[in-house]
């Protein structure tokens, strides 16, 4: 087999030891050595031709360009351009796979031209940071393994398609499967009925084979998904300012299946942002109009859950600040897909395809492969600043709130941390009283006459039943803002809710 050629580029004087280390490592590693042939200029025999011509020819003949960018820009030719930048531009011109690795130096320590080169690379390649030779070596190792997998030089089953050795079909919740079928049938004309055997439904979804279930089946329909995948959770935090500052006013860790994770995280955000009553142009019932479109919030959170690397120790994090919503995902874009390309038409390459398809069938996403462009469209139609997508050590989606008119200064770093005991199933507590008033105000605004709980919940846009009950219904009843049609029978099958006199006054006041 012809080996895959790698051109390793950096300023000659800055990473000499690292280049030599990588050369020897790629030759000696039992797996990588079978596939790759690295090139570094120290190993190049002397030629009469100019070094620039030789190295650019090597770039052209290579399959992969690896750029190691640090503090220095390096020697400049008569045009004021360094060999490193020439080689990067040449690799770009010839459509080579480009992998860029950045030292962890501060911007103030970098040469201005090196900063400009890094910014140029940001628009066309995925870059990673390293702070030591050890980190650089294993970052390159992980990237090259992913290259081999995606080019199908080596074949491994995606995480979500792996058959789980510890779980059985009894670890799946039959009612969850039936509820999914009901949703998928109404949203996408799913061909099977809820009365079909769960083995038949799971097989149709490629989640069941030879009597065994896949990892995706557990994440979608498991009774206790976190029993098998402890980091399958979403951490949600609300900050009143623009930075991560402790103590955190509101912090929750949500667990459950992926549908529950999405529902609870979206509901958390909706309960914290501003809302106004919509127009009653088609009926007396008007939905709430949120400052950030619900569809954009949902799409971004669904993307983070579907594309998460479930082998990672990291969790999806949803953080609401005064000026923006950030969703952090411990995952990486596929080779060839950059944050710039996310804004354009691009192929659908779901990290976990067996998770993505059921989320689509259940109506959680409109079309597979258009998520980021839909988020941009939802936000721009609302007059918001275009969202940002950032790939560093993690993937971040940033959705701006209406207060923002310019760039936010300062870098947000670190993971939201806090001690949470027990499993959270939708209850958000500990927030200031004003937040409760906001939720009450939203409930009162949409309540018209006597209405069922599901009708009110739909107008507010909350999906998770427990979250709605705890954060909206119970505070409204306890505060005396709404009344039950059957107060002596709270669980009456035809139970409805109506505004009390106190609720009517609040509604009129807020009109």
Say if residue 328's pLDDT is above 80. Answer: yes
pLDDT band (50, 70, 90) for residue 280: low
- Number of Cβ within 10 Å of residue 375's Cβ equals 25
Mean pLDDT, the chain, integer = 85
pLDDT at 408 over 50: no
- Residue-level pLDDT at 278: 63
Contact in structure between 110 and 69 (CB atoms under 8 Å)? no
Which tokens in the block code for residue 367?
Answer: 């079309």
Which residue is associated with the tokens 């009469």?
48
Question: Which among 73-77, 128-132, 225-229, 248-252 has the top mean pLDDT?
Answer: 225-229
75-122 pLDDT tens trace:
898 899 999 999 999 999 999 999 999 998 898 999 999 999 998 887
Q: For residue 316, is pLDDT > 80?
A: yes
Structure-token pair, residue 371: 């998520």
> Exposed/middle/buried for 429, CB within 10 Å: 0-12, 13-18, 19+?
exposed
What is the rounded CA–CA span in Å between residue 189 and residue 362? 10
DSSP, collapsed to helix, strand or coil, labels residue 331 as coil
pLDDT tens-digit profile of 56-68?
999 999 999 999 9
Q: What is the pLDDT of residue 414?
A: 38
pLDDT of 174 higher than 50? yes
Tell me if the bond preceding 76 is cis, omega within 30° of 0.
no
* CA distance readout (Å), 227 to 255, 406, 438: 11, 44, 36
Q: What is the pLDDT of residues 479-510, one digit of tens each?
A: 899 999 999 998 898 999 999 999 998 888 87
Q: In this predicted structure, what is the pLDDT of residue 297?
A: 95
State the span(s) of the chain assigned CATH 3.40.50.450: 4-150
CATH number of 4-150: 3.40.50.450
Q: Which residues pair with 497 in a beta bridge?
A: 451, 484
Is the per-residue pLDDT at 282 higher than 60? Answer: no
Is residue 196 packed enough to be buried (19+ CB in 10 Å), middle (13-18) or exposed (0-12)?
A: middle
Residue with more model confidence, 126 or 111: 111
Residues of the chain with CATH 1.10.10.10: 433-509
Q: What pLDDT, on a 0 to 100 scale, did the predictor assign at position 285?
A: 62
In the predicted model, is pLDDT for residue 255 greater than 70? yes
What Rg, from alpha-carbon coordinates, does the chain have? 27
Both structure tokens of 293: 């479109």
Phi, psi of 315, deg, nearest 5: -115, 155
At residue 261, does pLDDT exceed 60?
Answer: yes
Mean pLDDT of 368-376: 81
Res. 147: pLDDT tops 80: yes
Strand-pair category, 64-69 with 127-130? unpaired
Residue 368: is its pLDDT beyond 70?
no
Would you say 304 and 397 are in contact if contact means Cβ atoms under 8 Å apart? yes
Query: Residue 146: its pLDDT value, please?
Result: 83
Q: Where are the CATH 3.30.565.60 domain residues in the chain? A: 234-400
CATH of domain 234-400: 3.30.565.60
- Cβ–Cβ under 8 Å, residues 229 and 315: no
Does residue 228 have a pLDDT over 70?
A: yes
Comparing 38-52, 220-234, 389-403, the range with the smallest average pLDDT is 38-52
Largest CA distance in the chain: 97
Domain 433-509, what architecture? Orthogonal Bundle (1.10)
Query: What is the rounded distance in angstroms from the CA atom of residue 13 to the CA atom of residue 74?
Result: 8
- Residue whose tokens read 């996310």: 342
Question: Rounded to an integer, what distance in angstroms lies between the CA atom of residue 21 and that of residue 189?
Answer: 56
Question: Would you say residue 412 has pLDDT above 50?
Answer: no
């Amino acid at each position: 087999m012809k080996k895959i050629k790698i051109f390793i580029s950096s300023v000659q004087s800055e990473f000499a030891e690292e280049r030599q280390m990588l050369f020897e490592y790629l030759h000696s590693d039992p797996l990588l050595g079978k596939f790759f042939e690295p090139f570094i200029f120290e190993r190049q025999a002397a030629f009469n031709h100019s070094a620039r011509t030789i190295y650019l020819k090597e770039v052209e003949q290579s399959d992969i360009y690896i750029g190691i960018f640090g503090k220095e820009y390096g020697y400049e030719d008569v045009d004021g351009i360094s060999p490193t930048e020439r080689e990067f531009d040449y690799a770009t011109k010839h459509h080579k796979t480009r992998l860029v690795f950045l030292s962890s130096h501060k911007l103030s320590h970098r040469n201005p031209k090196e900063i400009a080169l890094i910014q140029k690379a940001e628009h066309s390649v995925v870059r990673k940071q390293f702070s030591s030779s050890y980190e650089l070596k294993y970052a390159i190792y992980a990237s090259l393994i992913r290259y081999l997998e995606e080019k199908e030089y080596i074949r491994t089953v995606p995480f979500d398609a792996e058959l789980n050795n510890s779980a059985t079909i009894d670890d799946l919740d039959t009612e969850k499967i039936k509820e999914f079928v009901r949703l998928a049938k109404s949203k996408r004309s799913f061909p099977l009925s809820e009365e079909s055997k769960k083995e038949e439904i799971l097989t149709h979804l490629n989640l069941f084979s030879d009597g065994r279930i896949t990892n995706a089946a557990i994440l979608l329909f498991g009774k206790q998904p976190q029993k098998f995948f402890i980091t399958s959770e979403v951490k949600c935090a609300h900050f009143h300012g623009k930075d991560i500052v402790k103590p955190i006013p509101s912090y929750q860790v949500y667990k459950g299946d992926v549908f529950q994770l999405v529902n609870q995280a979206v509901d958390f955000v909706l309960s914290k942002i501003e809302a106004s009553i919509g127009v009653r142009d088609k009926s007396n019932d008007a939905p709430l109009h949120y400052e950030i479109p619900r569809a954009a919030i949902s799409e971004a959170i669904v993307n983070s859950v579907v594309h998460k690397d479930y082998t990672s120790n990291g969790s999806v994090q949803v953080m609401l600040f005064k000026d923006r919503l950030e969703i952090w995902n411990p995952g990486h874009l596929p080779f060839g897909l950059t944050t710039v390309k996310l804004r354009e038409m691009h192929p659908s390459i779901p990290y976990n395809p067996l998770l993505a398809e059921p989320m689509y069938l259940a109506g959680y996403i409109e079309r597979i492969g258009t998520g980021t462009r839909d988020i941009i469209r939802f936000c721009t139609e609302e007059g918001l600043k275009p969202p940002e997508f950032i790939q560093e050590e993690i993937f971040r989606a940033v959705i701006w709130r209406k207060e923002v008119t310019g760039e936010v200064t300062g870098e947000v770093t670190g993971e939201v941390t806090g001690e949470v005991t027990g499993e959270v199933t939708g209850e958000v507590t500990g927030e200031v009283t004003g937040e409760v008033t906001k939720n009450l105000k939203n409930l009162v605004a949409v309540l018209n006459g006597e209405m069922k709980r599901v009708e009110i919940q739909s107008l507010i846009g909350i999906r998770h039943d427990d979250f709605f009950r705890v954060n909206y219904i119970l505070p409204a009843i306890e505060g005396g803002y709404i009344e039950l049609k059957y107060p002596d029978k709270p669980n009456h099958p035809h139970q409805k809710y109506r505004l009390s006199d106190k609720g009517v006054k609040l509604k009129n006041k807020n009109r």
